[in-house]
Amino acid sequence: MAELESRDTVVLAYSGGMDTSCILVWLIDQGYNVLAYLANIGQDEDFEAARIKALRLGATKVIVEDLREEFVQGFLWPAVQANAIYERRYYLGTSLARPCIARRQVEFARSENAQFLAHGATGKVKNIPLPISPKSPWSMDSNLMHISYEGGPLEDPWVTPNKDMYLRTKDPTESPNQPDELEIEFENGVPVCVTNHVDGTRKDSAVDLFLYVDFIGSKHGVGRDDIIENRFTGMKSRGVYETPGGTILLAAHLDLEGMTMDREMWRIKESLGRQFSEQVYNGYWFSPEGSFVRNCLAISQKDISGTVCVSLFKGHVSIMRRKSLHALYKEELVSMDLPGDYDPIDASGFIRINAVRLKEYSRLCERNGEE
C-alpha cells in the first residue's frame, strides 16, 4: 500500500459496536484521518455516548443523523410493497438499513472532501470497549425493523438461543392472555393508518405507525425466527431475529394483495418480490436491475388499497377480515347460495381442453411403462 499522507480522510459508518469500533482504531493505526458517521435508524442506542466513544478512540469528527423517517418511507415501505422476505424467512432488517445509511454517508463524505469510505469488519484488536460479555457473547444489530443476533454460541446450530437473549419481544409463552386486534389501512400498498380495536389508539404518520405496530407485536411475542441462511459469498450462516412490526405489516399486505391483485399479475409480482429480496440482501439496491425491479413493483401497487384486520396473540399473526374498494373478489360469483355469472355447464368445455395435454402425457407414460 502506498504511503498515506495525513490529509487522507475516511468516513466510517460507525455504530459504536464491536465491528466499527475495531475498524476505527485500525484505520487510525494505518494513518487515516477518521470521520465517524452515525445514523439513527431506530436502534436502542445512547447516541451521545457513542459519539464520545468514537472521539475517545481517535475520530476527529463525529456526525449523528436521524434517518428514521427516510428509512421507513424510502426502504421499509418498498419492502412491504414487495412482500420482501429473503429465502422465505428473513425480513431483511439489516440489509434494508445499509443502503439508507450508505447514501447519506456518501453525501457526508462529499461535503467533507473525504477520499475514502469504510464500514465495520469483524475482528478483535487493541483494548476497545465492546458491547459483549460472557452473558451476551454475540454480535447484535438493531434498527426500527429488527434486532439480529449472530456469532458466539449461536454459531453452533444445535445450540438453542437463551431466553434472556431476546431484547425486543416478549416470550410468547409469557405474553398477554388476551389478543390485540389491529386494523391496518393501506394506500397503494403502503400502510397509512393503524387503529387498535382494544383501546382505540390510532397512528397515521410513517414512523409512529411502524413503531406502534412493532410495540404491539413485541408485546405478543410476534416475529421471532432462528434461521440458517445462504450468504452471497457462498457460505451459510445462522442468525436469530426479532422482527415484530415487519412480520405483521407484510402479513397484512400479502392478504390485501390476494383480494385486489389479478392472478397472473400476482405471479409476476411474486417473482419480482423474490428478486427484490435477493438484490437487497446481496447489496444491489443501487444498481440498474434494482431500480428496474422497484419501479415495476411500485406500478403493481396502484390498486392495493384497503383495510386488513389482524389479531396478535402468543407469537401469532392471524388475519381476521379485509375490505377494499378495489377488490377483485366478487361474492356473487363464488357464492354457493347466490346465482352469478358463472355457469357450471361451461366447465365441461374447459375440462376437455385442459385434458388434451394430460391425455398425451398419460399415453406417453403408458407406452414407456411409467405410472
The length of the chain in residues reads 371
Q: Which three cell numbers stand for residue 368?
A: 414407456
User: So what's the pLDDT on residue 330?
Assistant: 86
> May I ask the CATH architecture of the domain 9-118?
3-Layer(aba) Sandwich (3.40)
d(CA 141, CA 66): 17
Residue 232 neighbours by CB distance under 10 Å: 10
pLDDT of residue 139: 80
Residue 339's pLDDT band (cuts 50, 70, 90): low
The whole-number average pLDDT for the span 80-101 is: 97
DSSP annotation of 195 reads E
Residue with the larger pLDDT of the pair 134 and 192: 192
C-alpha cell at 98: 445499509
* Residues 94, 242 contacting (CB under 8 angstroms): no
Question: How confident is the model at residue 1, as a pLDDT?
Answer: 44
Strand order in the sheet with 147-150: 139-142, 147-150, 236-242, 224-230
How large is the average pLDDT for residues 25-51?
95
Residue 340: pLDDT over 70? no
**Residue 364, SS3 per DSSP:** helix
**pLDDT at 19 (0 to 100):** 79
Model pLDDT, residue 94: 95
Q: Which three cell numbers stand for residue 91?
A: 425480513
Look at residue 319 in the predicted model and tell me its pLDDT: 98
CATH architecture of 139-328: Alpha-Beta Complex (3.90)
d(CA 156, CA 238): 8
- The chain-wide mean pLDDT, for the chain, equals 92
Q: What would the mean pLDDT of 55-67 be, rounded to a whole number? A: 97
- The pLDDT value recorded for residue 333 is 79
Q: Among the ranges 7-16, 18-27, 220-229, which has the highest mean pLDDT value?
A: 220-229
Q: How does pLDDT run across 146-198, given as a tens digit for each residue?
A: 999 998 999 999 999 999 999 999 999 999 999 999 999 999 999 999 999 99
What average pLDDT does this structure show over 195-219? 97
Task: Please give the average per-residue pLDDT across 138-150, as a whole number.
Answer: 91
Helix, strand or coil, per DSSP, at residue 186: strand
Angle 297-39-294 (CA atoms, 0-180°, nearest 5)? 10
Distances, alpha carbon 56 to alpha carbons 16, 108, 123, 148, 216, in Å: 12, 21, 19, 27, 38
In the predicted model, what is the mean pLDDT of residues 125-147? 72
pLDDT confidence bin for 133, thresholds 50/70/90:
low
Is the pLDDT assigned to residue 124 strictly greater than 60?
A: no
Mean pLDDT on 8-20:
89
**Of 331 and 65, which is predicted with more confidence?**
65
At 282-293, the pLDDT tens digits run 999 999 999 999
| Measured distance CA(326)–CA(7) in Å, rounded | 59
Residue 345: pLDDT band (50, 70, 90) is confident
Of the candidates 308, 310, 85, the residue with the CA atom closest to the CA atom of residue 187: 308
Stretch 18-41: mean pLDDT: 93
3-class state of residue 18 by DSSP: helix
* Amino acid 160: pLDDT: 96
Provide mean pLDDT across the span 74-98: 97
Measured between alpha carbons, how far is 79 from 92 in angstroms, rounded to an integer? 9
**Cell of residue 88, nine digits:** 422465505
Please compute the mean of the pLDDT values over residues 310-325 and round it to a whole number: 98
Q: What is the DSSP string of 114-130?
A: -SEEE-------SS---
252 strand-pairing partners: none
The pLDDT of residue 195 is 98
Average pLDDT, stretch 207-234? Answer: 97
